[in-house]
Amino acid sequence: MALIVDDKHLGTPEARWRDAGLHEELLHLGPINARRLLVVSPHPDDEVFGAGGLIQAALSQRVPVEVIAVTDGEASHPNSSAAATLNLARVRNDESCEALGRLGWRSPLITRLHLADGAVTENRNELDAALASILLPDDLCVAPWRYDGHPDHDTCGESALAASRAVGARTLGFLVWAWHWADPEGSNIPWDVCRRLDLSRRARARKRWASAAFNSQTRSLGPAIEDAVLPAPLMRRFWRPYEVFVDETVSTP
Ligand SMILES: [Zn+2]
């Protein structure tokens, strides 16, 4: 499945997700019963788009949080020679720190693996080893759902699930690209094992403010550089009053 995202390919309209009533139908996630929340983020922004509400919940429950930044996101503008002159890795990592600060996390703990953006699958062994060395049995690990639809995301989801199962930790899968390609009425997403986390007005506002920190993804980088990677209408998916997580501990392998 090719993931095409531009102004002409805006994916499943947000109105269809809203009409699907996920907010009412899915069971609540409940409190975070873990000694630590580990957020596996393939690219600098996924941690906020996919789990910005959950991070805030952990902070409010005084659960320590750590982000595992798998890549630096340096390949977000592959066809732009002008973008290549920028240090996109540094720009995107700075945006992530700013965004996490906007969530109320003043000194975010981020472990950077520096795997090549777009080549996580090719470097799966390195990712597996890193996660195996970090994960502990009482952690709650949240990573992209393993069928999210972007190769880097899917590999992160697979690796996190394997590492979690090896130590007996709980894993949740967050959705980023599945909102783009999936059908609310379809069976691609296992809704029966999905859980929702409701965001307070304050938490929702913070997440929206945090998502606006990723200027390199949501705006044109300059006149000679291609348009935003994430067209504005797509961002609505990440401003909802709830987040959805696939509970991999009850999902069949
Ligand atoms: Zn990503």
The rounded Å distance from CA 141 to ligand 1 centre is: 17
Please state the rounded mean pLDDT for residues 154-172: 96
Averaged over 117-145, what is the pLDDT? Answer: 97
Residue pLDDT, tens place only, 184-237: 988 889 999 999 999 999 999 999 999 999 988 887 776 655 666 787 888 899
CA 44 to centroid of ligand 1, rounded, Å: 7
Q: What percent of the chain has pLDDT over 70?
A: 92
Given this model, what pLDDT does residue 223 score? 60
Closest Cα to residue 224, out of 81, 46, 96, 90? 81
Cα of 200 from ligand 1 centre, angstroms: 25
Residues with CB under 5 A from ligand 1 (ion): 42-43, 46
Domain boundary assignment for the chain: 14-247
How far is the centre of ligand 1, averaged over its atoms, from the C-alpha of 155 (Å)? 11
Provide mean pLDDT across the span 55-74.
96
Q: Is the pLDDT of residue 66 over 50?
A: yes
- Grouping H, G, I as helix, E, B as strand and the rest as coil, residue 145 is coil
CB 246 within 8 A of CB 190: yes
**pLDDT at residue number 170:** 95
CATH class of the structural domain 14-247: alpha beta
Q: Are 40 and 143 in contact (CB under 8 A)?
A: yes
Distance 22 CA to ligand 1 centre (A): 23
Whole-number Å distance, alpha carbon 36 to ligand 1 midpoint, is 23
User: Ligand 1: distance of its center to the CA of 85 in Å?
Assistant: 22
Q: How far is CA 222 from CA 91, 215, 218, 240, in A?
A: 14, 11, 12, 29
pLDDT tier at 4 (50, 70, 90 boundaries)?
confident
Share of the chain above pLDDT 90, in %: 72
Q: What is the pLDDT of residue 227?
A: 61
The helix/strand/coil state of 138 is coil
- Choice between 9 and 111, residue whose per-residue pLDDT is larger: 111
Q: Which of 247, 249, 252, 250 is nearest to 54 (CA)?
A: 247
Q: Is the pLDDT of residue 8 over 70?
A: yes
Mean pLDDT of 223-252: 79
Q: What is the mean pLDDT of residues 100-113?
A: 97
Q: Residue 88 Cα, ligand 1 centroid: separation in angstroms?
A: 14
How many whole angstroms from 19 Cα to the centroid of ligand 1?
26
pTM greater than 0.95 (yes/no):
no
Q: Does 59 have pLDDT greater than 80?
A: yes
Mean pLDDT of 141-161: 97
Between the CA of 148 and the centroid of ligand 1 the distance, in Å, is 10
Distance in Å, CA 121 to ligand 1 centroid: 13
- Residue 103 CA to ligand 1 center (angstroms) comes to 19
Q: In terms of C-beta density within 10 A (0-12 exposed, 13-18 middle, 19 or more buried), how is residue 250 classed?
A: exposed
